[in-house]
Amino acid sequence: MVQSHEFFHQYNQVSRKISKKMNESLAETEIYSSQWTIIYYLFHHGPCTLVEISNYLNVEAPTVTRTVNRLEKIQWIRKTEGKDKREKRITLTEIALKNYSAIVELVSQFEKDVLQGVPEEEKEIAFRVLRKMMTNMN
């Protein structure tokens, strides 16, 4: 029987390795996995605030701000005024939208490679376990 600490140690090892290998897969795009998660979120949810992004990603606001600033610098996102002058809405630029499908292809291939040999039933179980873990932490 797998002990909880062994489970979490393995989970952390896999998580770090996924980030590292994802960054290697995305290297040609000059986008990192942390930036990809924000691009993905914006593509699927439309313009939003830094707070909305940080809540979705469960990441501290300063971390999201730094990542968004880097994306703005390379012109993948732009900030516009929100409801009031203090609020900034983050949107994808034409550059990001033009490159989105190519990145999706790279990410999809990476995910396919990582999950090679894992039966659908096991993926479903792992997905349900991760969902339950997230629910327990909320």
- The pLDDT-based confidence of 16 (bands split at 50, 70, 90) is very high
Fold classification of 23-137 (topology level): Arc Repressor Mutant, subunit A (1.10.10)
Residue-averaged pLDDT of the chain: 93
- Reading phi first (left if > 0) and then psi (alpha if -120 to 50, else beta), residue 58 is in left
Residues 29-65: pLDDT tens digits? 989 999 999 999 999 999 999 999 999 999 998 999 9
Whether 110 has a pLDDT exceeding 90, the answer reads yes
Residues 119-137: pLDDT tens digits? 999 999 999 999 999 999 9
For the chain, the domains span 23-137
Whether 10 has a pLDDT exceeding 90, the answer reads yes
Whether 93 has a pLDDT exceeding 80, the answer reads yes
Give counts: helices (H), strands (E), the chain: 6, 3
- Annotate 28-58 with DSSP letters as a single string: GGT--HHHHHHHHHHHHH-SEEHHHHHHHHT
Q: Are 57 and 38 in contact (CB under 8 A)?
A: yes
